[in-house]
Structure 1
Amino acid sequence: MTSSERRVRIAVQLQPEHAHDYALIRDAVLRAEDAGVDVAFNWDHFYPLNGDLDGEHFECWTMLAAWAEQTEQIEIGALVTGGGYRNPDLLADMARTVDHISGGRLILGIGAGWNQKDYDNFGYEFGTPGSRLKLLGEYLPRIEHRLAAGNPAPRRDIPVLIGGGGEKKTLRLVAQHANIWHAFGDLETVTRKSAILAEHCAAVGTDPASIERSTSWPGAEAAQSFVDAGVTLFTIGTPGPDYDFSTLTDALAWRDAQG
């Protein structure tokens, strides 16, 4: 499927920080589904990234299992799972199980990881950007193998989303393993790196049009230029405890006006 054949989608990232009661997150994901979002993401961190860095927080994958039961139609996933936080075979089996709970609505978002506090306080080796990317490269084939070996099999071929923009290593992994690429940066950066991704795709025999382009919501005034550059998935992040949907509402209105 090419970008011209994909419909534009809007996602919300419900950031599980500063929510002192899980009911706040449960209410937010249900509100998001009622509002008409296409995807609800959380993130895979163990501490808040903003405000009080030792404040209230909840874990990613147990939350996704709850969302799988609490929602009915939207896709769900992590933006993104830290690649080194779990044995890759275990992660794949967790993903398969959540996919079944949801009826086939999981997106497996994954990246190399970056927040040193998570690593240090939970006993993972932080290493270097290079070592974390090397580990991700070793883990992705194991994840694919374990998903293929699952019994019962996943409800669908679980889409793999890889987040990151490293031009030599990360984009190569995207070309080899991803169905969705989540990019960071302005329009010029996303456009340039999308072209580099296409070069990696040519080198490994992947159709670059088969990989959906994703990025953060740039605002209604700029969104069409990103669509013209091939982006079809936009994400609006919102932190707890309030989970303000004002920007999300504007983005959904823009999406619906596209016809």
Structure 2
Amino acid sequence: MAFPVRIGVQLQPQHSPDYALLRDAVLRAEDLGVDVLFNWDHFFPLHGDPEGAHFECWTMLGAWAEQTERVEFGPLVTCNSYRNPELLADMARTVDHISGGRLILGIGSGWFQRDYDEYGYPFGTKGSRLDDLAAALPRITARMSRLNPAPVRRIPLMIGGGGPRKTLPLVAEHADVWHSFVTVETYREKSALLAGYCDGLGRDPETIERSAEIKYRGDDEATLAFADEITAEGVSLLTVATDGPGYDLSAAKLLCDWRDRHR
């Protein structure tokens, strides 16, 4: 199946000393015409001043559910390690209801050790965290089916990552959306692997929406060239990131204009 080209913006909740700056960025992004808004699930900045200002993911998503009217939104991505799977399902269902059915549940296995150490979660290994994610996904699905009231819609599950041995098999089995950090060449390789895992499960790989980060470094021509190339390969959701305090949306506008021309 063919998915429409969509533009996402990740409003990274770092280096914003006043939540009002994030609230304003959400309003500007929706008014601009972006299709999806994301934050991320960390407790400290990932770049810049490591002791800089930072806000929590899911309480913020509840605020976005009330503030926005049109956009889909969610975490890019939530860390499986930080919440019991049944609790996470209930949180997602609740935010989905607040928004009238616009949540995307992005999830990954986690990687940022400082979050784990300072908040008291066992870090384990990359393999053990992926095993924990594999065990959690069926529990999330099962809890969703038992919640009363049920989610407004079947909440799309986005899995982030591209590991060939553990992550891509989970994408093939569980994901509605696959998010990755790729070049055109690496996307082709990983997409072929994903197709093989889907084939083994009897699933059509074209039923999985493809999502990728698009980096913007001030070069409009190069940015749009990558957008053309990666969407030609089948990626339909392109997300550009911006952080505080300014939350510059110029790259998002560039991509929204590009999307509209293609439509």
Query: What TM-score do you get using the length of structure 1 for normalisation?
Result: 0.98
Residue of structure 1 in register with 2:199 after alignment: 202
The 1-side partners of 2:181 and 2:103 are apart by 22
Deviations 1:156-213 (A, max 9, x none): 0000000000001100000011000001121100111011001011111221011000
* 1:55 CA drift (Å): 1.0
Deviations 1:98-157 (A, max 9, x none): 000000000000001000000000000111100000000000000000111111000000
Residue of structure 2 in register with 1:214 after alignment: 211
The 1-side partners of 2:226 and 2:239 are apart by 14
Residue of structure 2 in register with 1:251 after alignment: 255
Match of 2:244 among 237, 240, 244: 240
Count of residue correspondences: 256
* 1:217 CA drift (Å): 1.8
* 1:221 CA drift (Å): 1.3
Which amino acid is 1:58 matched to?
F
Match of 2:233 among 196, 206, 229: 229
The 2-side partners of 1:221 and 1:201 are apart by 30
Residue of structure 2 in register with 1:154 after alignment: 151
Residue of structure 2 in register with 1:176 after alignment: 173
Q: List gaps (5 residues or longer) in structure 2.
A: 216-222
Which amino acid is 1:159 matched to?
P
SS at structure 2 position matched to 1:167: coil
The 1-side partners of 2:151 and 2:31 are apart by 26
Deviations 1:11-69 (A, max 9, x none): 00000001101110000011100000000000000000111111100000000000000
Alignment root-mean-square deviation, CA: 0.7
Match of 1:104 among 84, 101, 105: 101
The 1-side partners of 2:71 and 2:150 are apart by 21
Which amino acid is 1:231 matched to?
V
* 1:228 CA drift (Å): 1.4
Residue of structure 1 in register with 2:220 after alignment: none
Matched, 1:14 2:11: yes
Alignment of structure 1 residues 59-98 onto 2, 5 Å: 59-98=56-95
Residue of structure 2 in register with 1:54 after alignment: 51
Which amino acid is 1:248 matched to?
A
The 1-side partners of 2:236 and 2:198 are apart by 19
The 1-side partners of 2:211 and 2:117 are apart by 30
Identity %: 61
The 1-side partners of 2:201 and 2:82 are apart by 28
SS at structure 1 position matched to 2:236: strand
Residue of structure 2 in register with 1:34 after alignment: 31
Query: What TM-score do you get using the length of structure 2 for normalisation?
Result: 0.96
Which amino acid is 1:225 matched to?
E
* 1:72 CA drift (Å): 0.3
The 2-side partners of 1:157 and 1:206 are apart by 18
The 2-side partners of 1:86 and 1:206 are apart by 29
Which amino acid is 2:166 matched to?
K
Residue of structure 2 in register with 1:189 after alignment: 186
The 1-side partners of 2:226 and 2:37 are apart by 22
SS at structure 1 position matched to 2:46: coil
Runs of 4+ in 1 over 3 A off after TM superposition: none
Q: List gaps (5 residues or longer) in structure 1.
A: none
* 1:6 CA drift (Å): 1.6
